[in-house]
Structure 1
Amino acid sequence: MSTVEEHIAHLTHTVDELSQEVACQQTEIAMLTRRVQLLMEREAGREADEGGQIVLGNERPPHW
């Protein structure tokens, strides 16, 4: 195997590993995003039940 072929094999292996890692990260980000969404909905429900205003994700509390 020539040096160029060795480099190509190494780079191919590295690209495959990186691709797999990115796919795992995408799955984890999607799961975490969904969990945050559920928590935001739960908190909004609590706020609504308590008669307060619903705080959206990026709004500052009224005392700021």
Structure 2
Amino acid sequence: MSDITDRLEEQIAHLTRSVEDLSEVVTRQEEEIVTLNRRVHMLMQREGERDSSGGGAVVLGDERPPHY
């Protein structure tokens, strides 16, 4: 009976550590997602401002840039 108890306690300790590790990963990913969302929002704002000012042509698909 003690052998089973020891194995179960070992498994519980391993699972507890795994959950803690995964929680840290999720927390880091959440922070990265927040940062990336901020950057995307900032870039969209800049692009919107550039579009409204009429500057900054964008090459789409197979379209050749003007210098060809």
Bigger radius of gyration among the two? 2
Q: TM-score, length-normalised on structure 1? A: 0.76
- Greater RCO (Cα-Cα under 8 Å, separation 6 or more): 1
Consecutive aligned runs of 4 or more in structure 1 exceeding 4 Å deviation: none
Quote the sequence identity (%). Answer: 47
- The 5-angstrom pairing of residues 1-64 of structure 1 reads 2-50=6-54
Cα RMSD of the aligned pairs, angstroms, is 1.4
Deviation of 1:47 after TM superposition, in Å, equals: 0.4
Q: Where in structure 1 are there 5+ consecutive unaligned residues?
A: 52-64
